Every structure is written in structure tokens, then in C-alpha cells.
Amino acid sequence: MISILIPSYNYNVSNLLDELDALLKLEEFLYEIIVLDDASPIPIEIKNCNYITLLKNKTNLGRLKSRRFLAEKAQHNWLLFLDADVLPKKTSFIKDYLNATTTNLDAFFGGFSYYNTLPEQDYRLRYFYGKSKEQVAACIRNKNPYKVIISANFLIKKEVFLALDFDLKNGYGLDNYFGALLKQNQIKVKHLNNEVYHLGLEKSVDYLAKKEAAAFTLLKLYKTNPDLEHNNDLLLCFSKLNRLKITFFGAWFYKLFNAILKKQLTSKKPSILLLQLYRLSYMCFVFRS
């Protein structure tokens, strides 16, 4: 009934598999777990289990192609995608998704959560961003269901997922594109309070580079799919600046202040507002380069 699909690159999935095993024993239904090792430098190994399949890519396919590959391999009609660096928050995690499959909706997003323990200074940008932008209650997410799309924890009908046309190449920050595609195709989406804890915090300097990559992905979305509807605040703001023909100001701001902003964003108390300003000015800079 449900195929649990876990793409992984260079991350030990043992804790996640152990947690899923405990939760799955609480329910009775048909399921499988497929782990895909996306050509990790140190190959992933898992203990032998009759319901877990480990697949290994010879070359790195990236997030989109890996998920497509997993979906094609899945035996069941519902796909539960989980990132390797997460852990279910509730003991009813599987049960809540099972209950969702009895409705007439197409996709369910469980959400993200973070532990309350403040991490070391080098990891705080990712933590603060997650707490501010990703840890959002389902009642709020459902008011604008295509906006806060987190693909690290979602359930979707196999036929619906395979029908989506992901025509962008791999990149970081494609959840915005995923949300736009769901909206364009009028996929019936509901958000649940069925969170997973996000464990894989990157160092602030690395995460800042990823947010630059995500901003670049937004620009690519803007250029290659100008008519695609989306709900991303950053891209909406950039679009307005471009319509007003004042992206030169953002580019100038980035050239003048990016070093100062980077120092603040990698400090012990990074500002998420300044992060968004940094990303917006970076988009203007790249757009005009």
C-alpha cells in the first residue's frame, strides 16, 4: 500500500530505519522501504531485512532523478518520501499517513521540526532558518498550501508524482518549483502536523552557499518558466524589482555589503531577515552579471 522511499548521499540511514521499523510494527498494512545510495563516496550499508531494498547508483543522479528513479521502482500506489537526515517526531507518524490515504486528496506534507537545543555557533544559520521558515504549523501551511512545500517528508500518489513534468535540471532549492508544479497541475494538497525532526544541520558557511544556489535556482525558474505560478516571497519581490527596472540597486547593494552580511550571517546570532536581503541582492547581482 505504501512505498517508503529514502534517497541518501553520504549519510548513515540506520537510525531512521530503526525508528521506522519500530513504528511500522505498530500497524498492519502492505509496505516496502527502498533506500537509494546516490553514489556516496563511502557506500551506504544496511542490515539485512526482507522488506528493505538497497539500491546503488553508479554515478550521482542528484535529488530529482533519484526520486524519479525511486518512484518508478516502487511497488505500491502511495509513495512516502523521506530524506535520510530526518527522524519521525510522533509515534503515530505512520498511522497519520495511513489515515490520510483514505481521503480523496493527492498529496500530504507532514512538515519539519527542530529540537529546541541551540546548536554550536557554526551551525546556527541553518537552525534559525529552519525554526523561522520551515517549522510551520499545518493550520498555517494549509492557508496557502503550495507555499511551504518541504519534500523531505511527504506522501503522494505514485501516478500523480510520475505525471509531474520536472523539466529543470538538478539544483538546490527546488521545493519552490515543486510547489509551483503542484499548483499548476491542480494537485489536491493537504498539510498535516506529522513532522520529522531535521538532523542534518550544515555549517553556516556551507548553508549560506546553498542558499545562494537556491537563489540561483529561483532565477532559473523565473527565466525558463515565466508563466509558472508560484508563491515564493523572494521571487515575487525580485520580480517586482525587475518590473520596476531597479535590480541595479540590489546588485550594487550586494557588491558593497556582501562581505559584511556574510560575517553577520555566520555569527552566533544570524538574522534571517538579513539572510533574505542577502539572497535578494545576490539574485539582482547574478541577474545583471
What is the value of pTM for the model shown? 0.94
Per-residue pLDDT band at 64 (split at 50, 70, 90): confident
| Radius of gyration over every alpha carbon of the chain, rounded to an integer in angstroms | 19
Q: Check residue 220 and give its pLDDT.
A: 83
- Domains of the chain, with CATH numbers? 2-111+148-200 (3.90.550.10), 205-288 (no CATH)
Q: Average pLDDT over the chain, rounded to whole?
A: 93
- Could you read off the pLDDT of 2-47 as tens digits, one per residue? 999 999 999 999 999 999 999 999 999 999 999 999 999 988 888 7
- Could you read off the pLDDT of 190-246 as tens digits, one per residue? 999 999 999 999 999 999 999 999 888 888 878 877 666 677 888 889 999 999 999
Bridge partners of 34, per DSSP, are: 5, 53
Per-residue pLDDT band at 170 (split at 50, 70, 90): low
- Could you read off the pLDDT of 245-263 as tens digits, one per residue? 999 999 999 999 999 999 9
Q: Check residue 46 and give its pLDDT.
A: 85
Contact indicator for 187, 107 with CB cutoff of 8 Å: yes
Phi and psi angles of residue 61, each rounded to the nearest 5 degrees, phi first: -90, -25
Q: Check residue 231 and give its pLDDT.
A: 75
Sheet hosting strand 107-109, strand order edge to edge: 52-56, 31-37, 2-8, 78-82, 153-157, 107-109, 189-191
Q: Check residue 168 and give its pLDDT.
A: 53
Higher pLDDT, 176 or 85: 85
Q: Stretch 166-187: mean pLDDT, rounded? A: 80
